[in-house]
Structure 1
Amino acid sequence: MTTAPDAPKSRSGQVQSLTRALSVLNVIADNSPGLTLTGIARKLGLAPSTTHRLLTTLQEERYVQYDRDSSHWQIGLQAFVAGNGFLSSRDLVSVARPFMRRMMEKSGETINLAIPDGDHVIYLAQVESREMMRVYSKPGKRVPLHCSGVGKAILMTMTDADIDRIASTEGLARLTDKTITDPDQLKQHLAGCRPLGFALDDEEHAVGLRCVASVIYDEYAEPMAAVSISGPAARISTAQLQEIGETTRFFAGEITTALGGQPPKGA
């Protein structure tokens, strides 16, 4: 009789511990090449003792690992296995990769595939350029919508109200001098991109890099991903943007068709 009232508290505590453990996992994943225990605790606002207990539990299950040389906690093998389980449950990457290789051969530049994740995008796969100087975006990396090529491609499918909401809740962080941080200017920019069928990141996410991206649609004509061509601004000149944009749009359409998707009417 005396234990019944404690049951909900116990379940609540278990949920809280799970939430905290997932937060630990997420913060390590977002901070390559890892963080110290103190750094993790500070970022999450947890006591070091609580953080250590969560880390050792995750370590036992191989979701994190400890690097004694750097004293950093890093993502473990099981997290990679779990992530691959997600990828294998969808055929997006396997279907898109042959088209991505063709895109790389045609453009000579690096090709990225990304999916929307709330008000960000996450890179899923990449086919690297054969050039010595090339762009690298680690699969699993999370970037803002407003200043990345793949993100802006997804933004092109959103309404002005959606863009205002993102600007008011997430903010439009300035990553370079060219980053568009004014919502009205961003909406005007995207309005010019929509008729073209591709979005441009003109050194807005990283100085010296350009990225051209188009949307991949699902069977409901909803955006499910974006594919991009990325490279140094020295190689992707202003004169080449239209041609590269048309290449990106063409292959995005090919991937959409291969997945059984369809673009919205008028797109």
Structure 2
Amino acid sequence: MRNPPTSLLNSVDHALQVAILLQQEGPLRLVDIAQRISIAPSTAHRLLTSLVYREFATQDADRLYRPGPMLRPVEAPDPGAQRLWRVARPRMRRLMELVDETVTLLVPVGTDARFISTVECTRTLRVADRTGFVMPLHHTAGGRAILAEKTAEELIELYRDEDVDGRRLHRELSRVRAKGFAINDQRTEKGLTAIGVAVRSPDGPSCGAMALAMPTTRFRADPVQEWVALLKTAAARVEEELATES
């Protein structure tokens, strides 16, 4: 028999109960969730706000809460993600210091992008931590940089069960292939623009991607080439260290 630990944190336990409830029974109203877990509606609202932010829950226009992307079964990420995280962190921090914009790191998981690390910049108006977020790979800047390296046949195979035309996507990514970087101009979030480059594994294919993410109001065309050069330098250093460790 399992007994609750003596150090059980009620807030954490309640959040987990909400996530489980949504996964097993959603969609649900806020008042229903509060009643089921025996907590105040105000407490349920705070928990749900956090769960929505971390993508364990979503709220529709009808104000019903449903399980979010993080509660969907997903393909297991590459086991090299931890090594990529460790090697990339110092380079991400240095890049953030040079540009003073948030830097993100993602890995491809099937047709999704999983953000495994974020280094936030120091500005008041900035892109916040995206660690743990799951987004469609072909919408993110880093994801598009990764996909641009694939052939049309590879994209067709990758998206065979998705509502995405692999051959058309291959044509769309021709400029990304030519320039070596991709821009996400509010594809994933209104008011957010990102520039991404792929990070290649020692074996050749891309194992992840690094991106600069900023408020769209601060994005300008003039410094893009400078930003891209810094991104590519950081990615190259990560690739060199990954190759040394392999």
TM-score band, normalised by shorter chain = 0.5 to 0.7
Question: Which protein is bigger by CA-based radius of gyration?
Answer: 1
Query: What is the one-letter code of the residue matched to 1:115?
Result: V
Give the equivalent residue in structure 2 for 1:102: 94
Give the equivalent residue in structure 2 for 1:224: 207
Q: CA deviation at 1:152?
A: 0.8
Give the equivalent residue in structure 2 for 1:215: 198
Q: Residue 223 of structure 2: SS of its match in structure 1? A: helix
Matching of residue 129 in structure 1 with residue 129 in structure 2: no
Matching of residue 141 in structure 1 with residue 107 in structure 2: no
Query: What is the one-letter code of the residue matched to 2:104?
Result: N
Shifted more, 149-158 versus 223-232: the winner is 149-158
Q: CA deviation at 1:140?
A: 1.7
Aligned ranges 1:160-179 → 2 under 5 Å: 160-172=152-164
- Give the Cα–Cα distance (whole angstroms) in 2 for the partners of residues 230 and 213 of structure 1: 9
Superposed CA deviations along residues 85-122 of structure 1, whole A, max 9, x for unmatched, are x9898322221111101110111100001111111111
| Identical aligned residues as a percent | 25
CA contact 1:113–1:125 (8 Å) conserved in 2: yes
Q: TM-score, normalised by structure 2?
A: 0.67
What is the aligned counterpart of 2:242 among 248, 252, 259? 259
The total of aligned residue pairs comes to 190
Give the equivalent residue in structure 2 for 1:234: 217
Q: 1:128 to 1:245 in 2, by over 3 A?
A: same
Matching of residue 246 in structure 1 with residue 229 in structure 2: yes
CA contact 1:114–1:226 (8 Å) conserved in 2: yes
- Give the Cα–Cα distance (whole angstroms) in 2 for the partners of residues 36 and 199 of structure 1: 37
List runs of 5+ in structure 2 lacking aligned partners.
1-14, 28-36, 57-77
CA contact 1:135–1:232 (8 Å) conserved in 2: yes
What is the aligned counterpart of 1:111 among 103, 107, 119? 103
Shifted more, 159-168 versus 196-205: the winner is 159-168
Q: Residue 146 of structure 1: SS of its match in structure 2? A: coil
Superposed CA deviations along residues 131-166 of structure 1, whole A, max 9, x for unmatched, are 111112432211111111121111112121233344
Superposed CA deviations along residues 232-252 of structure 1, whole A, max 9, x for unmatched, are 122121222222122211211
CA contact 2:153–2:167 (8 Å) conserved in 1: no
Q: CA deviation at 1:257?
A: 0.7
CA contact 1:208–1:234 (8 Å) conserved in 2: yes
Q: TM-score, normalised by structure 1?
A: 0.62
Shifted more, 210-219 versus 241-250: the winner is 241-250
Shifted more, 214-223 versus 136-145: the winner is 136-145
Q: Residue 200 of structure 1: SS of its match in structure 2? A: strand
CA contact 2:81–2:107 (8 Å) conserved in 1: no
Q: Give the alignment's Cα RMSD to 1 decimal.
A: 3.2
List runs of 5+ in structure 1 lacking aligned partners.
1-30, 45-65, 76-85, 173-181, 262-267
Q: Residue 91 of structure 1: SS of its match in structure 2? A: helix
Query: What is the one-letter code of the residue matched to 1:237?
Result: R
- Give the Cα–Cα distance (whole angstroms) in 2 for the partners of residues 32 and 212 of structure 1: 34
